[in-house]
Structure 1
């Protein structure tokens, strides 16, 4: 929507000329705040109508934060790689290398040594992906799949070599130290009082916020800090501008003196290191398991989906990681009844979307939203509880649904996945 302003200079007929002025777009941080408020409102309404208090409990949000962290690190790794023009399907394999490196480093040197080892092992996976795709021009998808298989094989071999003599089991490590956790005691106690007051809306928001300030590890703080830091580096520095130009138009970047190879290599090293940190979060967080064979369980792919959901932006991928972490945490902390109640919340959200689309006269989108709401309501109405076999796959179902909904408004980097050779034109 646009407005008009008077310029002050009359035209030939003596009337004041009207010049359209575009409305300034909403800041990204404000849009994120509004989405967070909307999500809390939907969860609060769902909790009130279904009587399932665990939807907004502090225990659920605390578990969700822990489970969202590896997805967040993987999504940030995908962001750095794809903004430089390289598709990084190999995030899963780099995370697997990070899990082994974290356990090995933590066992011999403590948690910070484990984190450093995870970053190094993940970065080695990123370096291998860079050599294949940037230097030799291998198809990005083929190289990524190969790294996933190689990461799994290398981690298994190293576990057989190092961990079997220590634990007697080649598929897991001996117990390793974990990060300590910290709480904002005064704030957490105040939020607990609000949560226990059972006030609609207020107690729900307090419960969700309390889980985010209670028993938080330094690794979680670092992960959340890396979101604005990635934005500042990629969008507010000369290095970030050059790196993103390699993902948009590497030939034009080269003509302006940008060393495209160096920036792609740097991006993939950072991408692999971040994926390795995601693997470390599975091993070094309190409440998590020690190293287990293939314990990533597809989180690298879900992180890639979170990045796509976030439209290749740091704030958006944070929302995607929170969504997937919440759905995973809900099924672990509350079970199938709460997951079924979440379907009811999705019905409410789709009804709102349908009404908004009707107001905008987007008939097809409104009809599709209405059909989706009807289908989910039938699932909720026809079942007292979801089948136990399906509950562990809740995050994967959410991934498919979210990507289907978000696919209409995506804007990936223009040159992502394309082969680049120095001196070649488009």
Structure 2
């Protein structure tokens, strides 16, 4: 049976609308965003941490969120096709090295292209190991992470070590990609944010961060989120790819070449992770340094899980982790200390929700934790530096723990598959 026929068949058997969780409308989403921003504004006013929603904080958080989001998108492509990609970290490492190696010789855009290719090679290796030879996906991913560290260290010894301004652990300086600042609008929003008005200044800070020193590669990364959604959920190609992650045996019976789609998905996954690595080397730092990924591939995987294997939710998760990571860079302990108050207020809202749902035990536990956080905030002026440094990773663990019950991964994700096994 042809793939076009299989697409029609799968479309006709797709569940009708209304059978699952009701989707949020745009006005409701905007109302939730406005409520969240108002809560941030309240925390800023009470705590005096005026940098919490400043233009610099938002701009920095966006730059920190992009590599996490690109890695998360890479994980989404692979897992929607049924392949778990723990090797995102290693593919990011390959992207940083290849991006820097090409970037300092031929320019930043050549570095971006080679970074994507480097990550895609890691994805191809992962596909060969898991799809063709049916090796456990976790084992393969961990092996790629270890291999990437060794390969890049070996290559640095006879490339960067011989180059002027480089060493065995870092590359020479790479030219920056052009960034965008909207004249007039950027300055006006920065002035409005500096007035520290309730909500209005916070909204100006968020919008200002999106139009100030915005790298062209950041714009490309942002566009990849709706692009991924459109390809995977609005095209026949995406339908066939997702069917491989839900029920590959049924997909094969309808004429889908499951191996081909898994290979495509994992190579694209590696390419996106490589792009994340190239972004780190070229845009974030302008230089390759050994170990600069810092576990962002794993945090990207966490953002994907938080987003329930959907591009929009993944982007929100990446933004959350990027924002938390940015707190320690601007204002440090003061900003993270203010977050104690924010979490306490969120828990108060959670108590009200549990009471509404008549979950009294959960309400009591949430109230007790909220009270402890209020006391902690009131009794201290700052937090230990160790806690500030650990804040992004603590946030990752808390978010995954709190969101675990609502998650629904692709049904065949990580399961071994052999052609013809359904016969």
- Bucket of the pairwise TM-score, normalised by the shorter protein: over 0.9
Q: Could you say which residue in structure 2 is the equivalent of 1:270?
A: 268
Q: Tell me by how many angstroms 1:77 deviates.
A: 0.4
Q: 2:147 aligned with 1:150, yes or no? A: yes
Q: Distance in 1 between matches of 2:297 and 2:56?
A: 25
Q: Tell me by how many angstroms 1:32 deviates.
A: 4.4
CA shift digits 1:365-386 (9 cap, x unpaired): 3233323323332332333211
Q: Could you say which residue in structure 2 is the equivalent of 1:15?
A: none
**Is the 1:327–1:394 contact (alpha carbons within 8 Å) kept by the matching residues of 2?**
yes
Task: Please list, as runs of the form range in 1=range in 2, the aligned pairs for 1:43-122 lying within 5 A after superposition.
Answer: 43-122=40-119
Structure 1 runs of 4+ with >4 Å offset: 21-24, 28-32
Q: 2:38 aligned with 1:41, yes or no? A: yes
CA shift digits 1:344-381 (9 cap, x unpaired): 11111111121022112233432333233233323323
**Is the 1:32–1:315 contact (alpha carbons within 8 Å) kept by the matching residues of 2?**
no
Q: Could you say which residue in structure 2 is the equivalent of 1:126?
A: 123
Q: Distance in 2 between matches of 1:348 and 1:295?
A: 35
CA shift digits 1:69-123 (9 cap, x unpaired): 1101000001001101111100000000000011011111111100000000000
Q: Could you say which residue in structure 2 is the equivalent of 1:231?
A: 229
**Is the 1:354–1:369 contact (alpha carbons within 8 Å) kept by the matching residues of 2?**
yes
**Is the 1:97–1:121 contact (alpha carbons within 8 Å) kept by the matching residues of 2?**
yes
Q: Tell me by how many angstroms 1:158 deviates.
A: 0.9
Q: Distance in 1 between matches of 2:108 and 2:286?
A: 14
In structure 2, relative to structure 1, the CA distance for the partners of 1:355 and 1:114 (3 Å cut) is same
In structure 2, relative to structure 1, the CA distance for the partners of 1:418 and 1:385 (3 Å cut) is same
Q: 2:277 aligned with 1:279, yes or no? A: yes
Helix, strand or coil for the counterpart of 2:329?
helix
Q: Distance in 2 between matches of 1:351 and 1:374?
A: 9
Q: Tell me by how many angstroms 1:330 deviates.
A: 1.1
Q: Mind listing any 5+ residue stretches in structure 2 that lack a counterpart?
A: 1-17
Q: TM-score, normalised by structure 1?
A: 0.91
Matching residue within 205, 208, 213 for 2:206: 208
Q: Distance in 1 between matches of 2:25 and 2:245?
A: 22
**Is the 2:73–2:272 contact (alpha carbons within 8 Å) kept by the matching residues of 1?**
yes
Q: TM-score, normalised by structure 2?
A: 0.92
Q: Could you say which residue in structure 2 is the equivalent of 1:418?
A: 415
Question: Greater CA radius of gyration, 1 or 2?
Answer: 1
Q: Mind listing any 5+ residue stretches in structure 1 that lack a counterpart?
A: 1-20
In structure 2, relative to structure 1, the CA distance for the partners of 1:288 and 1:348 (3 Å cut) is same
Q: 2:382 aligned with 1:392, yes or no? A: no
Q: 2:166 aligned with 1:178, yes or no? A: no
Of stretches 134-143 and 194-203 in structure 1, the one that deviates more from structure 2 is: 194-203
Q: Distance in 2 between matches of 1:254 and 1:23?
A: 26
In structure 2, relative to structure 1, the CA distance for the partners of 1:399 and 1:140 (3 Å cut) is same
Q: Could you say which residue in structure 1 is the equivalent of 2:253?
A: 255
Q: Distance in 2 between matches of 1:52 and 1:324?
A: 19
Q: Could you say which residue in structure 2 is the equivalent of 1:302?
A: 299
